[in-house]
Structure 1
Amino acid sequence: MSTNSSPPSALQLCYEQVNGSCVKTPYSPAPRALLYAVFGAGAVLAVFGNLLVVTSILHFRQLHSPTHFLIASLACADFCVGVAVMPFSMVRSVESCWYFGRSFCTFHTCCDVAFCYSSLFHLCFISIDRYIAVSDPLIYPTKFTVSVSRVCIAVSWILPLLYSGAVFYTGVYDDGLEELSDALNCVGGCQVVVNQNWVLIDFLSFLIPTLVMIVLYSHIFLVARHQAKKIENTGGKGRPSSESYKARVAKRERKAAKTLGITVIAFMISWLPYSIDSLVDAFMGFITPAYIYEICVWCAYYNSAMNPLIYALFYPWFKKAIKVIISGQVFKNSSSTMNLFSEQV
């Protein structure tokens, strides 16, 4: 008798006075504090790091180029992840309860998916931009203009928002899984169960742009290698000034492509575990343990915090821009025309 009655007395609920409340399985104090610190640091870095990227590009006129506008828009998507997704997911992951209401759960899930695909679309367009820039750097300014960049940015925002809103606000994502969805979404829960069809669509939507980026960047580095060998063989002696200019432009574009290639690789590494786990889970009967799922989710979230660190490591202009912003020089009238590049091409 005592054995049967003790578990219910020790059972914790998300809402003690509410019938149908989810069971609460929180971490002990030390791991709980550590997780809040780790997840919170990621959210803070995603917010303030990407805010620095956006501020730098919008403030300094030297950075007003199609590529940098795409990078700024990508940073906006990552900033939105840090503001609208990560803080609430942090509470859910650590407390194992959702305290923000059912309506906001749907909105949160919609934002989560939309901003992920927005980042993916931005990176895909950036890879196309870099492909054109490296393949023919002198013709590039006439092909990939600011107007083209704006169209790419609009597509990168509108399509993900329409897709995610249509899927999660119509409820088609859990067709055939209604009983399981109802069981998981007790009061205080925010678990989205997606059926096989939509999981497959999501995976292909991730895989196809990723393959496009891999092909484009592979070609970019082959072209860059060929250009480097050509410059090395000519030795730079007796070249016309136009050839010297082309070589310097090509070198600059290759450096930019290399940095953005690292950004793409970081995105793929961050999101691939979650994409594979979602696919396996849907076709294997949702067998993934909760802690594995949380690890995959937060690896994906942390991608939004990684990009500013990559820029800080590989972009000298971003380092200079940060110093100007943090030191307060950004408020001077002449700061927007400052030279952020050590080399002029």
Structure 2
Amino acid sequence: RMQLCCESVNGSCIRSSWSNSIRVSMYIFMICIILATVVGNLTVIISISHFKQLHTPTNFLILSMATVDFLLGFLIMPCSMVRSVEHCWYFGELFCKIHTSTDIMLSTASIFHLSFISIDRYYAVCDPLRYKSKINTFVILVMIFISWMVPAAFAFGMIFLDLNLRGAEDIYNHIHCAGGCFVIFSETSGVVASIVSFYIPGFVMLYIYRKIYSIAKRQARSIDAISQKKMRFEMKHHISFCRERKAAKTLGIIMGVFLICWSPFFFFTATNPFMNYAIPPILIDALVWFGYLNSTFNPIVYAFFYMWFRRALKMILFGKVFQQDSSRTHLFLE
């Protein structure tokens, strides 16, 4: 017998017909993703907040991005998990709109942060002498403000004003059912949402990282050509340059992970309305989770590439952060 989400309501959505073993394994898998996302990003937040040596402009951007990823894991993923497994929404229609808006906002905020981080890295690697004057705390705070406010205005405006449904009212009325929570985009809103949330900031990042890569290669060649006599004088510059280049490389990998995780979802969001919504909802749902994985991977990339993050992690795990003056610990050589 078909199970409904709301047994007593006419026009109820149909519950998923998966067996209990599939349901349980899906819950276990998704809970693992949620825990990894929350714990990993919380570690980044604690590390950068606690250790004074990590209080740099770039790290404040990374701290803000980790907060976005943490909130996605803590607030959004648990409700999405129930919806994905049960195919039902048990939290009411208003909360459905709030959840959808916040989901779009945080996913968009994540890529806005990455775009600004790439701009920060560009000045650090390509114009190191003027970096501190160009990228100061005020500039970083403006970047963080834009990264939160533009996605918030865009996401909440679109969902609460039903702008995503303009031109797709018929299809929405056809598939709308009680006890469901899904977002439908019209042809126009699907393209606009994908361009604002993904394609514009994505192209900005790709363009900037291409420039960083070519300039870093050129600088590396010129450093190799330095004669032995100048070696001692150049050593300090060489070490700081290597660190900046490694940071750019790490953030390049983070950007690559982001593009791999989110591009399938945004591609189908833009094209699905033009294909008469032929893509099965279960595939769209799977791609949303593939996108969520990006928030899980970011701290893992830090742990893999940053010595300071591994040292901070060790101190947090062993409770050393509660010791007096632990915030002054040097996690890397200046």
TM-score tier by shorter-chain length is over 0.9
Corresponding residue SS for 2:129: coil
Aligned to 1:215: 207
- Structure 1: 5+ residue runs without aligned partners? 1-9
Map Cα deviations across residues 113-149 of structure 1 (whole Å, 9 max, x no partner): 0001100110000000000000022321121111111
Corresponding residue SS for 1:18: coil
CA–CA separation in structure 1 for the residues paired with 2:231 and 2:199:
45
- Is contact 2:191-2:269 (8 Å) kept? no
- Taking the TM superposition and a 5 Å limit, the aligned residue runs for 1:10-21 are 10-21=1-12
**Worse-matched range after superposition: 28-37 or 46-55:** 28-37
Q: Deviation of residue 284 (structure 1)?
A: 0.8
Distance 1:241 1:143, change over 3 A: farther
CA–CA separation in structure 2 for the residues paired with 1:168 and 1:318:
38
Pick from 51, 59, 66: which aligns with 1:75? 66
- Is contact 1:131-1:217 (8 Å) kept? yes
Q: Deviation of residue 240 (structure 1)?
A: 6.6
Aligned to 1:271: 262
CA–CA separation in structure 2 for the residues paired with 1:230 and 1:26:
64
- Is contact 2:105-2:154 (8 Å) kept? yes
Q: Deviation of residue 204 (structure 1)?
A: 1.5
State which structure, 1 or 2, has the greater radius of gyration over its C-alpha atoms.
1
Pick from 82, 104, 108: which aligns with 1:113? 104
AA matched with 1:45: A
- Structure 2: 5+ residue runs without aligned partners? none
AA matched with 1:146: T
Q: Does 1:192 align with 2:183?
A: yes
Total equivalences in the alignment: 333
Aligned to 1:244: 235
Q: Does 1:151 align with 2:132?
A: no
Map Cα deviations across residues 243-280 of structure 1 (whole Å, 9 max, x no partner): 33222211110000000110011001000000111112
Corresponding residue SS for 1:238: helix
Instruction: Report the TM-score, using the length of structure 2 for normalisation.
Output: 0.97
Corresponding residue SS for 2:142: helix
- Is contact 1:66-1:144 (8 Å) kept? yes
Q: Cα RMSD over matched residues?
A: 1.3
Aligned to 2:165: 174
- Taking the TM superposition and a 5 Å limit, the aligned residue runs for 1:49-60 are 49-60=40-51
Q: Runs of 4 or more off by more than 4 Å in structure 1?
A: none
Q: Does 1:202 align with 2:193?
A: yes
Pick from 111, 125, 130: which aligns with 2:116? 125
**Worse-matched range after superposition: 43-52 or 125-134:** 43-52
Pick from 54, 63, 84: which aligns with 1:63? 54
Corresponding residue SS for 2:324: coil
AA matched with 1:24: R
AA matched with 1:220: I
AA matched with 2:199: L
Corresponding residue SS for 1:16: coil
Aligned to 1:230: 222
Q: Deviation of residue 242 (structure 1)?
A: 4.8
